[in-house]
Amino acid sequence: MSKSPAGALPLDSCQTSNLRTAVNGLSPLQLQWVSGYAAGLAAAGSQTAPRAGTETAVTATSKASDQKLTVLYGTQTGNSEGVAIALAEQARVRGFAAQAVSLTNFKPAQLRRETLITFVVSTHGEGDPPDDAELFHEYLLSKKAPNLSHLKYSVLALGDSSYVNFCQTGHEFDARLHALGAERFEAMVECDLDYDDPAAKWTERVVAGLPELLDKAEFAAKPLLHAVETVSAYDKSNPFPAEVLVNQKITGGASSKDVRHIELSLEGSGLTYEPGDSLAVIVHNPPQLVTQLISELGVDAAAVVTVRDEQLPLQEALTKALEITAVSGGFLRDWAALAANDELLALLEASDSTALATFIDGHQIIDVIRQYPATVDANQFTGMLRRLSPRSYSIASSLAANPDEVHITVAAVRYEAFGSEHWGAASTHLVDRLAEGDTVSVFVERNTRFRLPAADVPLIMIGPGTGVAPFRAFVEQRVEQGASGDNWLFFGDRNQDSDFLYQLEWQRHLRQRNLQRLVVAFSRDQRKKIYVQDRIRENGAELYRWIESGAAIYMCGDAKNMAADVGNALISVLAVHGGITEDKAEKQLKKLRAAGRYQRDVY
C-alpha cells in the first residue's frame, strides 16, 4: 500500500497511533460498536467523548424513559447469554436503549413496567428450565403472574433435539406470555445445538423491527462510551489449535473406567479463563464408527455430499462435520418415515414420552439403521443429520496457577450395546487419538453462573466422578489468592484404590490446610453402595453449621440422577438440622440459589 500524502488523513500521526492502539485486539462485534459510537458522536456534533468506564446505554429523554428493549436470558452453559448480549449490543449500536439481563437478576414484578422484551432461554435436560431461570419460570407459570396486555415480546428457544422435550422452556414461556395477554412481535424460534444461524436471523429480524417498536427519535443521538475489554481473536468460529502437553490416565489398572487428565498449551493464543468456565473442543467422530456406518448404509464413502453449501466426500462429512452418535428427534422422525416401520412409527406417535426418551438415550444412529433398515442415498442420509457440535468440559485448572495452560478431565465413553462396541465422539477423540505434541482446536466458554465467592466465604464443593474437575480449579485459585475462607470437598466414585481422581493433590491440600475437610464415598468398596448424598446426610450437622455461617455450596456432575439426589440430601439437611419441614427446606434451598449461594454446573 502506498503512503498517503500529507493532509489526506483527518488524524495527525499521534492520533493515528492512539487509534490503532485503542482498536488493536478488538473483535468484529466490538469494532462494529466502536464504529456506531463514533457515528453517534459525529451526528451529535460532540467535541468531547464521555469518560471511559460509564455504562453502555443510549440515554432516553424523560418522556421515553420506559422505552427500551430488555433482553432477558436464562442459560445453563452460556450460549443464551452470548446471544442475548449480542442482540442488546446490536440494538445499542443502532441507537436504541437496550440491556441484557440474566433472569436470575430480574425481579418478576418488573414485568408490569416493561413494554418490550425478548427472551433467550435454553432448556436443560428433560425439559427443565436452566438454573438461573428457575425462579422466574415458577413465577411466570403461577397464579401470581400479572396481566401483560401492555407487553410485546419474542422468544428464542435453545435446546438439544436429542431430548424429547426439545426447547420446552421456550415453549412454556411463549405460551404463557401469550395467555397473559402479551403480544408476539416476532414468532418464537427453536434452535438446536447448532444454533448460530437461526439465532443470527432471529436477531436480525428483531433489530430490524425496532424502529416500529421503539421511537428512535425519542433517544439522544449520542451513546455513552464504556471501556471495552480486549479479547482473544479465538472463538467458536475461529478455534485455537492447542498443543497437547499431557494426556495422562488417572484411574488405576483395575478401574472399570478410563479417565484422563489432559493439559493443553494456550501459549500465544491470548485466551483467558476463570475457574468455573468450560473449554469447548472441536472433535472428530470415531473413524471405526464412520466405517461401520457407511458399510451398514451400503453407500460409497467417496460420494460427494452437501453440508451447508460445502461439497465434501461422505467419509469426511461423517468424520468432521455431522453428528453420528447422539440420536436427535429430527433424525428419528425422518428415518421412521423412510423405513416405514410400524414399531418405530408407533413409538413416535405414542403419548408416552418416557419410552421415547429412553429409546433416544439408549441408541446411537447406527443402532437405529441396523434395527430399522431402509434404502437411502448419501445426500438423503446426511440431510437427516445435525452438524457436529463442539463438546464442552469443565476446566480443571486455575490460569493463575498454570499460566498459558488449560487442563480438563475426560472419561472415555466406550460400552457394549446391541451386540457391538460403541464409542463417544468427543471422549475417544481426546483419549484415544491425541498424543503429546498433537493439536486440538479449542475455545473458552464463559460460565458466569458458576463463579467463586469472595475470598473469605466458606466453600462447600460436591463433585463426584469427573464432576470434581472445576473444584480442582477452585482450590488452586483460592491458594493463589491466599483466600481465608475454608474449603470442604465431597468426592465420590466407584473404588478408592482405582478411581480416586487427583487423590495425591487432595491429600497435599489437606496437609497444607488449603482444604479443611475432605469427605469421600466409594460406592463399590462395600456391599451396600454409598454415594455422596449419603455422606451429605451423615455430615448434616456440620454441613448445616457451615451453611449458617455463610458458606456457598457448589455442585458439578450428572444432571439425570446425581443432581436430584444431592439436592434432596441438602433439603433433608436443612429440614432435620434447621427444625423445619421439607417444604420449607426446599424453599430455603431455592433462596440460597437465588442469592448465589447454591450454584450448579450439571450436564
What is the per-residue pLDDT across 169-205, written as a single tens digit (0 to 9) for each? 999 999 999 999 999 999 999 999 989 999 999 999 9
SS3 386: coil
Mean of pLDDT over the chain? 88
Identity (one letter) of the amino acid at 92? R
d(CA 225, CA 58): 10
d(CA 83, CA 90): 11
pLDDT (average), residues 266-284: 97
Q: Between these two residues, 13 and 109, which has the higher pLDDT value?
A: 109
* Helix (H) or strand (E) run with residue 329 in it: helix 329-339
What is the DSSP pairing of strand 414-417 with strand 598-602? Answer: unpaired
pLDDT given at position 37: 44
Domains of the chain in sequence order = 23-223 (3.40.50.360), 240-283+390-445 (2.40.30.10), 287-382 (1.20.990.10), 459-602 (3.40.50.80)
pLDDT given at position 231: 56
Q: Which of 56-60, 346-350, 351-355, 564-568 has the highest mean pLDDT?
A: 564-568
Burial letters 506-532, b for 16+ CB under 10 A, else e: beebeeeebbeebbbbbbeeeeeebbb
pLDDT given at position 154: 98
Sole residue written with cell 435446546: 159
User: At residue 450, does pLDDT exceed 90?
Assistant: yes
pLDDT (average), residues 212-219: 69
pLDDT (average), residues 418-429: 95
d(CA 131, CA 574): 20
User: At residue 418, does pLDDT exceed 60?
Assistant: yes
User: At residue 91, does pLDDT exceed 90?
Assistant: yes
The share of the chain scoring above pLDDT 70, in percent, equals: 86
- The length of the chain, given as a count of residues: 603
Contact 469, 408 (CB under 8 A): yes
d(CA 486, CA 488): 7
pLDDT (average), residues 260-266: 98
d(CA 502, CA 507): 9
pLDDT given at position 124: 84
User: At residue 29, does pLDDT exceed 50?
Assistant: no
Name the pLDDT band for 546 (thresholds 50, 70, 90): very high
User: At residue 218, does pLDDT exceed 70?
Assistant: no
Specify whether the backbone of 172 is left (phi greater than 0), alpha (psi in -120 to 50) or beta: alpha
d(CA 59, CA 97): 7
The share of the chain scoring above pLDDT 90, in percent, equals: 76
* Helix (H) or strand (E) run with residue 366 in it: helix 365-371
- The residues near 70 (Cβ < 8 Å, ≥ 6 apart) are 98, 99, 101, 114, 116, 117, 118
- The residues near 136 (Cβ < 8 Å, ≥ 6 apart) are 72, 74, 103, 104, 106, 108, 129
Identity (one letter) of the amino acid at 511? R
pLDDT given at position 11: 52
User: At residue 21, does pLDDT exceed 70?
Assistant: no
Report pLDDT digits (tens) over 579-600.
999 999 999 999 999 899 999 9
pLDDT given at position 227: 45
pLDDT (average), residues 394-401: 98
Report pLDDT digits (tens) over 534-544.
999 999 999 99
pLDDT given at position 544: 98
